[in-house]
Structure 1
């Protein structure tokens, strides 16, 4: 049997099934597109569920794939065994109601014996105990000896998950030889020993199981085969561990090279760490390649856990500084041809890993000290379970995923109170939720828990002036029949053209009136499907049941709509410039501007900001039509509409499209043509949370307002500099240079003055216990001046301690400087300054020969000097 590389095996498999008229599908992303039950794709057939279920039409009735997969359920075993890995590739061949058992098994046999040239006497097959058809195909069509065909029960050779499509399966095994076997003379597939390795499963989906456990025949049986390429590569390369396969060993050798630790392929702790890092490098590279970024929930948490777990094991190997980012190159080098997205996003992948590793490096030492403190405390108290709130502190403050904390503690024989951790986590979420609700509620009735039945019909997408009927009036937590002039209350209508604050868009303001009354609309909120208008009655009286006219402020609405449409353009432009990993993480749209939060791993460069701004303005200049359409959610997903991850959507959704450029789920108001936005300007880009960036921008009249404000500033600056507007920059540079020159001259004069008085300063020293103590206060000098002075004194002085105080802007800076012979006597400037500064209400520290500190009270400098004398 010829040894084959993993990349060669993949290509041979896919090409073989192409020759059998199978459509060759590129691997689906690791993020499930429509399956909310999965965090990550974990099998070859997972992305194909809609085809098997008949919900979607596949591109062909025959398909073959090599699917990238992530499984973290048994992550604790990774590195400790030869076969466990969080990332793996699954080769598969599929039939959607086309061919069935005979073709699947005979083609499979053809591939492994004629293409891979596996020796036939090493191959075994298992079938479901009642599947005579599969048994006959193996025996009569393929020619497998009956003593190498094993019938197994439902637990081994029948595939089903609850109700729905299911069926028997047939597995192919490779005999590794007697040395891997057991003492059982009847040893064969199904035995618990390591002799027989299952490497290919052919699932025959031919039944449907109902809720009562009955099985009925499917009208169109399917084929689903799956073969882990890593396990197959172990067989083809005659190695025992997936870490000895050519592509994975290349990555492992990189880890060994960086660590300088020899790899023995054994159970030593260093070997385990090397394997863990190797495996996790594959997972993190592929996950980031599919636009997953580190975070605290869901798949983002999985990625963060893997990166930080690998980084910790690097520390355990003695690797100093960041190292994972550079090793990602090795993963991309061996897999980039098969998965071109890795090559395309190489720099992004490395940057994300580097940023996350750097974040963890800044806290891991402190976190480990705390964990060690906890274990010492538990040891003293005779405990072996870490309290949940302490584990939560490690997670919340120091970025230690709970699984990593648990793993570290288990290495020392301790466990974690996971239920207590979950309670602490839930309490924090509840606190945050309450705070958000309190911030966003804005009306007393939410707290009072008043029940508002029915719904308000919103007509504001197409109508601005809307006649409506007053359904309810609320004031001071009570329902009223009427209110009069001067009252501030809440009003519920059967219909409204006022937009209620939601989806990041601010509420409309305006007027509600009739012949007898006029009210200013101050705020509009929404409780379920009821719109609640906060109003101030300007004149007259309004009664429950009255007819009124809703008149939103049209200019305000138009500016809000322009800003909202601009967020959609901005979202798409960010994807164009930064990559498909960009996801909206929040937004705020008002008439004055827009704020857009998004997931990204680093600050944007000036060039990136300029590119995004240019793209948005280019689109605006093309006057593209904006259309809205209400459609089934499933149809919207098929059309590629962008939805906010984690948001719940009903059966039907509203989709806002900007030509062919942008398509998003959105309930907000928008312009009808993006030319109405006018212009778009980014004001700032900043970080607001770990992995979350924020852009603030303005459009249209917002730019005019900003321009006018800038005009005022420029005019005031020109007047202050006594310059014309056109010459303001040159004048500012000239003044700045002059200021620098004057500062330099002043500093030189200060130094000259200090040098002149140097003898006088030394002459006024006190001698205490054989040490000369120099103490002096300086006004309008900085700490650097004091350092220079102490260095000059040290040149020709011995046995000297200097205590200087610089006073500037009402604040004090102390400097303690000791000559080397004073330090040798046991004095320590860093320790001394803590007590000296404390006497003046300050604190600080430093090295043995020099230290500095700040203090708040200049009136207590004499007390600080007295403390210095006391210390000597």
Structure 2
């Protein structure tokens, strides 16, 4: 039974038993800030299990894409994956153990035909009910094993809270082997194929348990394991989910997966598994980066490329591999086709970027190794190479091993990981707001703040809580940094890309200047400082929003919607919002776009926004259900999690025949009453912030006008400086650039003529050491590029005289010494390594460098030591030649 048929059979089975089939949620776990990725089948249903949202049906079933980071380094063997599919059925306060166990057995034995004699069940130690149910179904006592929490037969959300026993079905992979051993004693024999979680109790701090008011079922069955079982394979990579991918990779590296050696097979599995995972992650909205999901995705991409490089695959691979993934998985997951252009563009850009890193990485690292005070690299060396050049630890370790410069890989990796974590912690600390923002402190309040900010900017309210110095306090005094919670407020909390409101809280003899506003669940916190008097819980205050700041933010938020609509109109419907910042002074908009928009397209976007502003189209809002909003054509932002009731912001001309609805989005932010209030609109920058991800920064209102005035003033100054008018300044600058280019050409011609003469002299004066001509000299050039050209000329002269040689040249440019070293093929064969040679030479001049055995460059700090450094070359070459 192939994977597609397994998915359909499972889904049909539970739909026939009154389950609602729910499409897989994205891997990026939208709406759950506690998770980087969707790691289990029940993750999308957490709000239903926790009673935070109303489920669409009391019985659900899904085939959920899942991703876990814990096994990334283990992928490559035959049993580990990062991405997998989880078959699941769920009961939300409806059926319980009897039905869940009976249906699991029926599906596995009667429908898909697994022989009952190859199955055993496990139950929690004291779960007599589940034990008896398996006996009623037909399993003998010898086929039912009782295991405790340590063996995994118990599920808990945490030390306290919902929990319950588990029951698992296991398949015998090796009949006749250790017949008396159960799953906990012989995991090489048994394959877990289904886990039934019975959410039965709530656990208290003292360890006691009580029945939940509504008992639920959460089950999970790994599709890859079912495919392995039903296709009679002994590992996860031979079934039809991976066989086509491994076949394609085999073609690209000219190897057959089944006859390749162990190292090659491991590398092929890594490329296949990571290729599948990265394709889905990008299609689900992840973009490579240096933090969070982006960091994990980039790690997968680079690990896959490193393994591909070890297989000799040098041409573009990943976007082609994504096409193969789409061929295997696209019939069930249409998002792969929908976002195929984005996936291909992101992977191409990342691959090209990293292949450049790989091509230079060895040279960089070899230079570093040549400069080591000790014989081994350290974790700090590895971290600096990663931090500066993006060189992964695996590449660093591999090159170091080649040079016997890695004495204890585990210790070096541990030091590298520590340095990496310290850097991330510094980044987190720098990004942390100065005031207390511990969500747990606000969750304890068990209250909700009533928000009235859409209707008014001033509200009479009562102080419900105060947080100062990291603790809840009853009172705060002048000078204290505080977070104040009110029973109602007109302050808009940071959300949807819009910054939080600022303003003041005033009462009898008290004033708090509010600098920011944030939401923690249903609680809105006003962050600021007590300016005068003291504020206490129970005080009555007037909460007043800064009108100017609110109006500026609203203007920029409306402009953001206009910009989003204009981008989709000009560039196409593939454009999706990927992030935004709506501040009072500017707006920032991130969007998906495979390549940089043409200047004409960007100009068209700006003109379209300006047209809609001039038309002064009304901006209206309404509340409705999420489903109804989507039916009206409202856009939901990809990756966002929405409540059942949503707010829709429309920019629609009241005359239906005029432009119809230009923009309609789900949005909780504040907006201008009409587009005319935006005033001016000016795009000030557009650029890439990652593969397939672009960013626009723009200004509105008086800020846009001021920006334009500044540019006009600058243009006038430039025109005066080049002796032109603003209208003719462009032509005048072009002429000056042409004149400068001609002067550079003449200078290069003079340098080339002089360099050829000097190169001839250096080549003729080369010293013979063990049959290798060593040409050393100082040349008068002004750049590293000119120095390389001089080296090429010396090498050419040696080649003309049929001599194998080493060339080391030095120059002083901008008061700093520069060096280049080159070695012919014969010299390298004799033992010369230009990368190591240049490191020792440059060190005398206070510098360092590196490169390949054939060519290397270096720089120094002390120009006066240039000649001394060059003089050391002959001894260094003698040492290398032995």
TM interval, short-chain normalised = 0.5 to 0.7
Equivalence map 1:528-567=2 (5 Å): 529=526, 561-567=554-560
**Structure-1 residue corresponding to 2:439:** none
For the Cα contact (< 8 Å) 1:786–1:815, is it kept in 2? no
Instruction: Decide which of 84, 100, 120 is 1:104's aligned counterpart.
Output: 100
Equivalence map 1:233-312=2 (5 Å): 233-264=227-258, 268-312=262-306
For the Cα contact (< 8 Å) 1:126–1:157, is it kept in 2? no
**Structure-1 residue corresponding to 2:24:** 27
SS in 2 for 1:661: strand
**Structure-2 residue corresponding to 1:86:** 82
Task: Output the CA distance in 2 between the equivalents of 1:70 and 1:500.
Answer: 32
Task: Output the CA distance in 2 between the equivalents of 1:553 and 1:189.
Answer: 65
Task: Output the CA distance in 2 between the equivalents of 1:377 and 1:42.
Answer: 44
Summarize the Cα distance change of 1:818–1:581 in structure 2 as closer, same or farther, 3 Å threshold: same
Query: Deviation at 1:558?
Result: 5.3
Task: Output the CA distance in 1 between the equivalents of 2:744 and 2:51.
Answer: 81
SS in 2 for 1:218: strand
Gaps of 5+ in 1: 442-457, 468-494, 510-522, 535-541, 630-638, 748-778
**Structure-2 residue corresponding to 1:686:** 687
Summarize the Cα distance change of 1:15–1:379 in structure 2 as closer, same or farther, 3 Å threshold: farther
For the Cα contact (< 8 Å) 1:206–1:221, is it kept in 2? yes
Summarize the Cα distance change of 1:286–1:406 in structure 2 as closer, same or farther, 3 Å threshold: farther
Gaps of 5+ in 2: 436-450, 461-485, 504-512, 518-524, 535-541, 624-633, 652-662, 766-776, 825-854, 875-882
SS in 2 for 1:21: coil
For the Cα contact (< 8 Å) 2:48–2:54, is it kept in 1? yes
Query: Deviation at 1:310?
Result: 0.8
Query: Deviation at 1:680?
Result: 3.0
Task: Output the CA distance in 2 between the equivalents of 1:786 and 1:297.
Answer: 50
SS in 1 for 2:241: helix
Query: Deviation at 1:687?
Result: 4.2
**Matched residue count:** 738
Query: Deviation at 1:32?
Result: 2.0
Of 270-279 and 318-327, deviating more is 318-327
**Structure-2 residue corresponding to 1:782:** 746
Summarize the Cα distance change of 1:398–1:569 in structure 2 as closer, same or farther, 3 Å threshold: same
Query: Deviation at 1:243?
Result: 0.9
For the Cα contact (< 8 Å) 1:94–1:222, is it kept in 2? yes
Summarize the Cα distance change of 1:401–1:58 in structure 2 as closer, same or farther, 3 Å threshold: farther
Summarize the Cα distance change of 1:266–1:241 in structure 2 as closer, same or farther, 3 Å threshold: farther
Task: Output the CA distance in 2 between the equivalents of 1:813 and 1:129.
Answer: 77
Of 37-46 and 681-690, deviating more is 681-690
Task: Output the CA distance in 2 between the equivalents of 1:423 and 1:565.
Answer: 44
The CA RMSD measured in Å over matched residues stands at 6.2
Summarize the Cα distance change of 1:356–1:588 in structure 2 as closer, same or farther, 3 Å threshold: farther
Summarize the Cα distance change of 1:136–1:573 in structure 2 as closer, same or farther, 3 Å threshold: farther
For the Cα contact (< 8 Å) 1:603–1:693, is it kept in 2? yes
**Structure-2 residue corresponding to 1:160:** 155
For the Cα contact (< 8 Å) 1:583–1:599, is it kept in 2? yes
**Structure-2 residue corresponding to 1:52:** 49
Instruction: Decide which of 340, 343, 350 is 1:349's aligned counterpart.
Output: 343
**Structure-1 residue corresponding to 2:602:** 609
SS in 1 for 2:62: strand
For the Cα contact (< 8 Å) 1:5–1:237, is it kept in 2? yes
Task: Output the CA distance in 1 between the equivalents of 2:493 and 2:16.
Answer: 59
Summarize the Cα distance change of 1:213–1:708 in structure 2 as closer, same or farther, 3 Å threshold: closer
Query: Deviation at 1:211?
Result: 2.6
Instruction: Decide which of 74, 77, 83 is 1:77's aligned counterpart.
Output: 74
Query: Deviation at 1:160?
Result: 2.0
Are 2:138 and 1:175 equivalent residues in the alignment?
no
Cα deviations by residue, 1:170-210 (Å, 9 ceiling, x for unpaired): 322323343xx54x452454441533322122233333333
For the Cα contact (< 8 Å) 2:555–2:671, is it kept in 1? yes
Query: Deviation at 1:273?
Result: 0.7
SS in 1 for 2:327: helix
Instruction: Decide which of 113, 124, 149 is 2:109's aligned counterpart.
Output: 113
Cα deviations by residue, 1:259-286 (Å, 9 ceiling, x for unpaired): 2233237871111111111111111111
For the Cα contact (< 8 Å) 1:125–1:173, is it kept in 2? yes
Task: Output the CA distance in 2 between the equivalents of 1:498 and 1:102.
Answer: 52
Task: Output the CA distance in 2 between the equivalents of 1:403 and 1:738.
Answer: 51
For the Cα contact (< 8 Å) 1:800–1:819, is it kept in 2? no
Of 151-160 and 91-100, deviating more is 151-160
Query: Deviation at 1:14?
Result: 0.9
Equivalence map 1:43-442=2 (5 Å): 43-81=40-78, 83-141=79-137, 144-146=138-140, 149-155=143-149, 156=151, 158-161=153-156, 162=158, 163-178=160-175, 182=177, 184-264=178-258, 268-368=262-362, 387-400=378-391, 413-416=408-411, 420-421=415-416, 424-425=419-420, 428=423
Task: Output the CA distance in 2 between the equivalents of 1:736 and 1:575.
Answer: 36
Task: Output the CA distance in 1 between the equivalents of 2:214 and 2:456.
Answer: 51
Task: Output the CA distance in 2 between the equivalents of 1:59 and 1:322.
Answer: 45
Q: Between Structure 1 and Structure 2, whose CA radius of gyration is higher?
A: 1
Task: Output the CA distance in 2 between the equivalents of 1:645 and 1:12.
Answer: 31
